[in-house]
Chains A and B, each alone.
Chain A
Amino acid sequence: MPFLRVFPVLGVIVMVFALTMLVPLGVSLWTQDGASSAFPGAMALTFVCGALMRSAVWRVGHKLELQKRDGILLVGLAWTLLPLFACVPLLLYFGPTSTPLSFTDAYFEAISGLTTTGATVLVGLDRLPGSINLWRCFLQWLGGMGILVLAVAILPMLGVGGSQLFRAEATGPMKDAKLTPRITETAKGLWTVYCLLSLACVLGYWLAGMSVLDAWIHMFSTLSLGGLSSHDSSFGHFQSPAAEWVAIVFMLLASCNFALYFVTLVKRQPGRIWRDAEWRGSMLLLVGSGLFVAGLLLAKGAMSDPGEALRTALFNVVSIGSTTGYSTVDYTTWPVFAPIFMIMLSGVATSAGSTGAGIKMARIVILLKQARREMARIVHPRAVNPVTMGGNVVDSGTIFSVLGFMLVYGGTIIGLTMVLLLTDMPFDTAFSAVVASVNNMGPGLNEVGPAGNFAGLSDFQTWVCALAMLLGRLEMLSFLVLFTPGFWRK
């Protein structure tokens, strides 16, 4: 068996994942919210499965280094298996209640969590126990920086196999930018930055008046650009301008490359951030769009108070554009330009190496520079003007891979939309549901818009959206390659 060696590593990752269930279990016991029976069973099941996977093929696998293909396979397997374990507490909790959750819906909820999408099939979130809501959002936090990156950070046994995992899970066009000599240190550094920002965010929410539990829950889904909430009315529940401003700041921070923060902290060169073309691109686009929509709302008379218009527009535009998916109002009632524009924005605004999804600003920057180069070539056919990013020449291999990615990205959206249309879904719902899922954003338009949710979808439609989320998180190619015969050929 050629790929048997990934199982021991996968087993260890599943075991680590089981341990993360201690967090909601602890909260449940602490707050006495009545859901504490859901977690120990799920945790034991996950842990035992992990241990079995680890030991079943221990003798075959423990000595072999992970190869590139193993890394890709492991990432694919982990991202399909972990939601399976993550949905067990939900199944256990909802099983005995009057509204049991189907497996499809539970899996959808879990994968929507881990991929930081933030689409939900649950209604009556306010009445759910705190620990269940926390678990949904905690999944987003884990998936945001990457559960495998976490594994690389804390499991020293991976060695060079760690870089294969890291590369297969990392996002963006240039995946070999190591920050430290050893991949473990890079992974640790990224998680440290992530945790520091998380603590700052919790503090911000708490100061803005949220309860301690709400502050943590919303921090989890803010930093990961996930967008799940413990309230049906999402962020609108709080009616708190201060909390909204805190959210705007941290959503913006999380849509940038975390590696950039790490380098800035280690090298103490704040100037590096300003010089980064991708950072400037993401920030200008998100903030500029927010201001533009605010102006639009005032001009069209949808809102009258400039201060409120600015805050509301900025919050919702940044939330959707950064693929978070919170909302304070039903923005689909805004002038028709705004909601469509925001959904388009979600595909391009976040940076590579951030917790967001979509095409990533780095690819957009490369493509724009390539387009400019083509135009320059019309005027000066013999000019040599390579595409550069941060002073380094982007080789043509990378440019081609970006073009290839764009094709697959577009193809995925069109293809999955067509599949949903086959099930007689209205076009705007189908298209927006696919885009919202592929971009890991959450709410779309109409039925799946901020005022509704994904509960009304049929089982088949739910699975299509779940697949779209997975494809979006793993940037299509490294997941799709698993289904090519060449990958399995010896």
Chain B
Amino acid sequence: MNIIILGAGRVGESVAESLVSEQNDITVIDMDPARLRLLEERLDLRGVVGNGIQPSVLREAGAQDADMVIACAANDESNLVVCKVAHDIFNVPSTIARVRSPEFVEGDELLGKNGFAVDHVICPEESVTRYIHQLISYPEALQVLEFADGRASLIAMRAAYGGALVGHTIGEFRERFPHAEMRVVALYRLDTEMEATKTTRILAGDEVFVLADTRKIRYVLGAIHNIDKPVQRLMIAGGGKVGLRLARSLVGQCEVKIIERDPKRCEYLASQLPSNMLILQGDGADEDLLLEENVGQMDLFLALTSDDEDNIMSAMLAKRLGAGRVMSLINRRAYADMMQGSTIDIAISPAQTVIGELLTHLRRGDVAAVHSLRRGAAEALEGIARGDVKTSKLVGRRVEEIKLPTGTRIGAIVRGEGRKSEVLMPHHDTVIETDDHIIIFIPNKRLVREVERLFQVGATFFG
């Protein structure tokens, strides 16, 4: 695909990075030549210097041949205008804009073909907030991802002493928990992938990926991890966009303290949030302040400023001072990989969360959702089996007959719509039916293309 990306900032860079390896032709537009040069040196893409809302710059970037424009500059205005220009002047078939303001929503007439012509809206802050919210709701999990409109979930967690199944093999699961519709799709031990067969034994410390019916999540979590008490007290360092959104979503759910350095911002936060949320002016890495505010009594400490180093230091400090669990926003991939699972329980990389959302719009065939796992190394993909026995590579075939690339696994099948839907854990003889949602775990990003092809419906019998 021929893709133009506007903005070589953090989001633009990680979007480019995750797309460039998939045989796409990428052109990045940015005002800063130095940043573009760095990007060009690291990735096989082309940089065009200029203001992307100008048609001449877009033409220089090859907009007339582009299949998609992804606008992820820092300000909403540029992103909206670029989509409009790309659609009206260059007839670019697909446009995606990063929009921070919550007042522009997908499907609104303002963003329609006669408005700004934005096909999809992505908002990193919103994705990160949702992601963190999930982690607060399921305190035992490292990552919770929803498939098939929330009917099935993929949960990543670290096996801990005391979990009912820790120390047992995967084969014993069914005997002990006969009602749990779940399947272990992948197992990582000391950052290397282990084979997840019936005889594999789960040890404390393993990172386990389990697919389950969303209604059974609690049950599954209890099997592998001892149930933690729900998060009641929470401290957030950094009252930026993510901090504010998160605090808003937690109103009435838990006690929240927010530490913010900028006094003006503090005032704004106080005016936006209910009065029982405590806004503190100060430094998130200030030991005295943390002690004074009882950081040791907190169930969860979140470092959400825009600075990686600040986040890491304040999260580590909070952990040392006795906070139950600590999470930190970490933008740099190398830092995130380094910190995850050490003193910091969960490293959240904002770029990766938004990329999953973006990938869904980019995938060919009938792909309904894609989530990136393990900070971009692996992916879970949900596809819909369309067509019939003749045109589809899936429909009417038994699971064992489907030619999956090595290493990839079918985790679950969601059959039926709405209330009647059921989540099936497929066996080797399960037959795929039309309109089944199939969730596939892909351990290596390079195999994504092959899996996608499975979902494409052939035009002819031989296609």
Chain A residues engaging chain B, CB cutoff 8 angstroms: 68, 159-160, 162-163, 176, 178-183, 185, 392, 395
Chain B's closest residue to A183 (CB) is B44
Residues in A with CB closer than 8 Å to B26 are: 181
State which of B2, B42, B47, B49 has its C-beta within 8 Å of the C-beta of A178.
Answer: B47
Q: Per-residue CB proximity of B25-40 to A under 8 Å, as 1/0?
A: 1110000010001001
Residues in B with CB closer than 8 Å to A181 are: 2, 25-27, 44-46, 62
B40 pairs with A176, CB closer than 8 A: yes
Residues in A with CB closer than 8 Å to B41 are: 68, 163, 176
Chain B's closest residue to A161 (CB) is B44
B37 pairs with A160, CB closer than 8 A: no
Q: A178-B46, A180-B46 are in contact. Are A185 and B25 (CB under 8 A)?
A: yes
A178 pairs with B25, CB closer than 8 A: no
Residues in B with CB closer than 8 Å to A179 are: 46
B43 located at the interface, meaning its Cβ lies under 8 Å from any Cβ of chain A in the complex: yes
Query: Which residues of chain B from 40 to 69 have any CB-CB distance to chain A below 8 Å in the complex?
Result: 40-47, 49, 62
Q: A181-B25, A181-B27, A185-B25 are in contact. Are A163 and B37 (CB under 8 A)?
A: no
Chain B, interface size: which category? 10 to 19
Can you list 20 A-B pairs, Cβ within 8 angstroms, ordered by A?
A68-B41, A159-B44, A160-B43, A160-B44, A163-B40, A163-B41, A176-B40, A176-B41, A178-B40, A178-B46, A178-B47, A180-B25, A180-B46, A181-B26, A181-B46, A182-B44, A182-B45, A182-B46, A183-B44, A395-B33
Task: Give the CA-CA distance A238 to B62 in the complex, in Å.
Answer: 47
Chain B's closest residue to A395 (CB) is B33
Residues in B with CB closer than 8 Å to A176 are: 37, 40-41
Task: Give the dominant DSSP class at A's interface.
Answer: loop
Task: Give the CA-CA distance A168 to B252 in the complex, in Å.
Answer: 61
Residue among A163, A181, A395 having the largest count of chain B Cβ atoms under 10 Å: A181
Minimum Cβ distance to chain B for residue A126 (Å): 48
Chain B's closest residue to A68 (CB) is B41
Residues in B with CB closer than 8 Å to A159 are: 44
Minimum Cβ distance to chain B for residue A285 (Å): 29
Task: Give the CA-CA distance A179 to B48 in the complex, in Å.
Answer: 10
Task: Give the CA-CA distance A100 to B134 in the complex, in Å.
Answer: 81
Residues in A with CB closer than 8 Å to B37 are: 176
Task: Give the CA-CA distance A185 to B2 in the complex, in Å.
Answer: 13
Query: Which residues of chain B from 12 to 36 have any CB-CB distance to chain A below 8 Å in the complex?
Result: 25-27, 33
Residues in B with CB closer than 8 Å to A160 are: 42-44
Task: Give the CA-CA distance A182 to B46 in the complex, in Å.
Answer: 7
Residues in B with CB closer than 8 Å to A68 are: 41
Task: Give the CA-CA distance A160 to B43 in the complex, in Å.
Answer: 6
Task: Give the CA-CA distance A319 to B42 in the complex, in Å.
Answer: 40
Residues in B with CB closer than 8 Å to A162 are: 44
Minimum Cβ distance to chain B for residue A286 (Å): 30
Residues in A with CB closer than 8 Å to B46 are: 178-182
Minimum Cβ distance to chain A for residue B362 (Å): 16
Residues in A with CB closer than 8 Å to B27 are: 181
Q: Per-residue CB proximity of B318-335 to A under 8 Å, as 1/0?
A: 000000000000000000
Task: Give the CA-CA distance A465 to B44 in the complex, in Å.
Answer: 37
Residues in A with CB closer than 8 Å to B2 are: 181
Minimum Cβ distance to chain B for residue A280 (Å): 21
Minimum Cβ distance to chain A for residue B17 (Å): 11
Chain A's closest residue to B65 (CB) is A266
Residues in B with CB closer than 8 Å to A185 are: 25
Task: Give the CA-CA distance A182 to B33 in the complex, in Å.
Answer: 18
Task: Give the CA-CA distance A181 to B45 in the complex, in Å.
Answer: 5
Task: Give the CA-CA distance A132 to B33 in the complex, in Å.
Answer: 48
Task: Give the CA-CA distance A163 to B45 in the complex, in Å.
Answer: 9
Task: Give the CA-CA distance A181 to B1 in the complex, in Å.
Answer: 11
Task: Give the CA-CA distance A182 to B40 in the complex, in Å.
Answer: 10
Given contacts A180-B46, A395-B33, 6 further A-B contacts (CB under 8 A): A160-B44, A163-B40, A176-B40, A178-B47, A181-B62, A185-B25
Task: Give the CA-CA distance A395 to B26 in the complex, in Å.
Answer: 25
Minimum Cβ distance to chain B for residue A158 (Å): 9
Chain B's closest residue to A167 (CB) is B41
Residues in B with CB closer than 8 Å to A178 are: 40, 46-47
Minimum Cβ distance to chain B for residue A401 (Å): 14
Chain A's closest residue to B27 (CB) is A181
Task: Give the CA-CA distance A363 to B47 in the complex, in Å.
Answer: 23
Chain B's closest residue to A178 (CB) is B46
Minimum Cβ distance to chain A for residue B8 (Å): 14
Residue among B26, B37, B41, B42 having the largest count of chain A Cβ atoms under 10 Å: B41
Q: Per-residue CB proximity of B215-253 to A under 8 Å, as 1/0?
A: 000000000000000000000000000000000000000
Task: Give the CA-CA distance A183 to B41 in the complex, in Å.
Answer: 11
Task: Give the CA-CA distance A180 to B27 in the complex, in Å.
Answer: 8
Residue among B27, B42, B45 having the largest count of chain A Cβ atoms under 10 Å: B45
Minimum Cβ distance to chain B for residue A363 (Å): 19
Residues in A with CB closer than 8 Å to B42 are: 160
Residues in B with CB closer than 8 Å to A395 are: 33
Minimum Cβ distance to chain B for residue A387 (Å): 15
